[in-house]
Every structure is written in C-alpha cells, then in structure tokens.
Amino acid sequence: MAVRLVLHGELRQYAPGKVVEVSGAGRTVAQLLAGLGVPGEATAAYVVNGEQCEPTARLSDGDTVEVIPAISGGDAAGALAGIRVIDLTRALAGPYCTMMLGDHGADVIKVEMPGTGDETREWAPPHINGVSAYYLAINRNKRSVTLDLKHPDGKRALERLIEGADVVVENFSPGTLERLGFAPERIRAIQPRAIVCRISGFGQDGPGRAWTAYDLIVQGMGGIMSLTGHEGGPPAMVGVPQADMVAGMFAAYAVTAALHARERTGEGQVIDASMIGGQVALLSRQAARYFADGTVPGPEGNRHASIAPYETFRASDGFVNICCANNGLFERMCRALELEELLDDGRFADNGRRVAHRDVLSGLIGRRVGELARAEVVRRLREVNVPVGPISDLGEVFRDPVVKHLGLVAEVDHPSAGRVSAPGIPVRMSATAPSVRRHPPELGEHTDEVLAEIGYGPDDIARLRAGGAV
C-alpha cells in the first residue's frame, strides 16, 4: 500500500491532481513533501488520518496525509486606509465595531476618560500580566487618547478631532452625547462629511430608549434565547456575547455603506444601530416560519426542523455533527458508515419521510456512530463529501489546521501583556488586505501624539494635563 497524499489549494501545482498515491512508508511528512518539491514555507499544517501532526511525523502504508497551504499576506493598505474614526465607545458592541474598521486600515482614535478609561480594562480575571484579557480581545488597531468630555478644554480637543474625522462612533446611553454638547447635528455642523454611528440597546428614540441593555437582556428580548437549548428545557443564551458582537458588526457594515454613499453625495449621515435590531435580523428561517403560518418556534436542540439527518451524534470519544440535506448525501453517508440497510427502508426514502421518522433514523445512525471514534467518522464522511465536523473545544479550535491556515489567530506584542493572541480577522482580501498593525493601546498611550497632530504644542498639552482635561 502507498500513502494517500491530499494537496489543498495552490499546493496542487506540485503534483498531478489533488490526490496522489505516493510511496511514503517510513518517511516523515517533511521528507515526503521534499521529495515532491513542495517547499516548507508554502505549507501551513499537516493532517494525518484526521489528526493534525508535526512535519516530523513518520508515515505508514495506508495513511492519508492532508497538507494545508500557507497564506501569503498582502502589503497593500487596508480598504479603509486614510479614514479617521473617532471612537467614543466602551464595553463591547462599540469597540467591536471600531476594531473591525481598524482591522481594515482605518485610523481609530479611542477617546477614554482620564484615569479609568474603558470599563473593560477592569473586567477581569483573567489578566495577562495585569492587563484585562477581555479588553485586549477587542481593542487592537487603535490609538488611545484620554479626554475629560465634561471639561471645557476636553470638549475643545474633541471638537478639533471631529474637524478631521470621517466617522464618529459612540455607544453612550441615548441622550448622553447630547448632554455633553455633541448632538449629531453639532458634530455634522463641525464636519459635514462626518458619519455619526450611534450604537444602543434599543434605539435612540421610541419606547426602549431609556432601557439599560446588556448582552443577556437583549438575547432574551430578541427571541434568540427562546430558540436556543433542547426541546422542553429552559431557555439558554448563546455561549459568546453575540448580541453585542452582532450589533457591532452591523454598525461597521453600515459605516462602510455610508462611506460609499458619501462618495456620491459628499455628505455624511447619522446611523442608528441597535442590539435588538441585530437580534431580530438573525431570526431568519425561524421568523419565516412564524410569518408563514403563525407558528411560534421553540428550542430544537441540535436538530433542524426541516432536514434529517441534520444533528449531533455521539461518537465513542466525542461528538460530531452530520448534515444530509438531500438524497445523494444521505446515500453516501449510509454507505460510508456501513448503514446500507437504511437505503432499503421506505421510511427513509426521501427527506420528508426521514423528518417524519427522525427519532428512529437518529437512533440507528447514533448507534453506528457510537461504535466509531470521532476522527474515523469525520474521515469516512469527508472522503465522500458528506458535510461532517467534530464539536471542538477551544483548544482544538485553535490547533485546527484550517483555522491556522486562514490566519484566524492574531498575535501582537503588547508593552505590558507581552505576546497577546486573539481571534484573527475572519476575511481575506486580495488587494486591500486587512491586518493587525497595533497592539490594544494602554490608557492614554497616544494622547500627546494625537494632540500634536491636531495642532497642540508641547506647552498646550502640558496645560491640558495640569488642568485635568487629559
């Protein structure tokens, strides 16, 4: 028997086809690839029989080796290079929005209160060398300036920042910005081209304007928790603060749309982005069921109401998700798992009948999956292109060769925390590559630098400090 070598992406140039049979028993992965002329710097990760390994792993006859290519980074400026964002946000939804803009090249100036700053600087444990891990995760690619926006000189400094701004993002409680003297109309009077993005829990006006919002509150009110969890069980929140993050994503999306519109009109505009709006937008197919026939969906666990099998199964050493949305996938799954008898059972002849007899079908598949290791189930089904994947913990996620290949772990050196890792940038762009250029700033780290850029001299800055404005 030979070794089965699977080359992904641009690595296929080194062999005649995606999959090749090669003599490799007793050799290491690195030796095997060198024999084909595949340079080490062109590879990112190696998977042998479904498990990631080092290039020094020794191979045996019958092994399947998958090789993931390295990605080549771009040197071009990000798509938002030259855009200046004044970031008046804190906690999560707002900073997540501005981090996304910064990842794509915007110059994000994070304005914080002297002495305290963004409250997430205190949201710990965990710390990394005394720095809040929570803060570090959502504030890269920004510069920090401290300004007391209740101090007259702090207000004047913010006015100067706005004069050169393309975007102003804030997530104060509705009405706070107005009380500080910076209502959207005044911001746009200072800089008519400015896009003012306002992020709140329930909108800037209307019945929810004064309600305090946190992620858990909005997940519940937006319907997501009513759909999450197992049938008959209590509501469950999603395991990440997605109400905050989705609001930040939609806000960043709206900002880029407004920047594009400004190219036509020459004018900025005001964006009202809400956490509840993001949650309702996510209801998608469940809302479609409700609008179609009035059905109020409830928790479905890990099953899809309209497709079977489409759910989680327990293997002998973990869990896997298997999804078969048509007859072809179902047939291939049955053959790969040696369940051919299901193909002759009329109860499973098409998706409608499989849904009607889901409990029986799930039990039969579940017994077979339970006899196999998780990696074996994944290997068998991937070989026949049936959608399958393990349920991975975070240790497994960040070791996954696909995650590594796509650059989904970002690292940056921080002056206090040292080398910091965080989830990376989830998209790649061929001409205007996003990038991690700056560490999450220390409080007020760039105050003097930024004030000098907007015309303050050393004596002016010293005066601002002495007066408590910065």
**What residues are annotated to the active site?**
244
Is residue 176 helix, strand or coil? Answer: helix
Q: Cα angle vertex 94, ends 91, 97, to 5°?
A: 130
64 touches 20 (CB < 8 A) = no
Rounded to an integer, what distance in angstroms lies between the CA atom of residue 222 and that of residue 57? 49
Tokens of 226: 């009513």
Distances (CA, A) of 176 to 46, 93, 181, 185, 333: 53, 17, 9, 14, 57
Q: Residue 130: left if φ>0, alpha if ψ -120 to 50, beta else—which one?
A: left
* Residue matched to tokens 């999956």: 369
Q: Which residues pair with 382 in a beta bridge?
A: none
Rounded to an integer, what distance in angstroms lies between the CA atom of residue 112 and that of residue 445? 11
Tokens of 440: 């999450």
Q: Which long-range contacts (CB under 8 A, 24 or more apart) does 285-293 make?
A: 286/223, 286/227
Rounded to an integer, what distance in angstroms lies between the CA atom of residue 397 and that of residue 378? 15
342 touches 334 (CB < 8 A) = yes
Is residue 389 helix, strand or coil? Answer: strand
Compute how many other C-beta atoms are within 10 angstroms of the C-beta atom of residue 125.
8
Distances (CA, A) of 76 to 163, 424, 431, 433: 27, 18, 6, 6
Is residue 422 helix, strand or coil? Answer: strand
Rounded to an integer, what distance in angstroms lies between the CA atom of residue 33 and that of residue 28? 9
Closest by CA position to 146, among listed 467, 415, 457, 437:
467
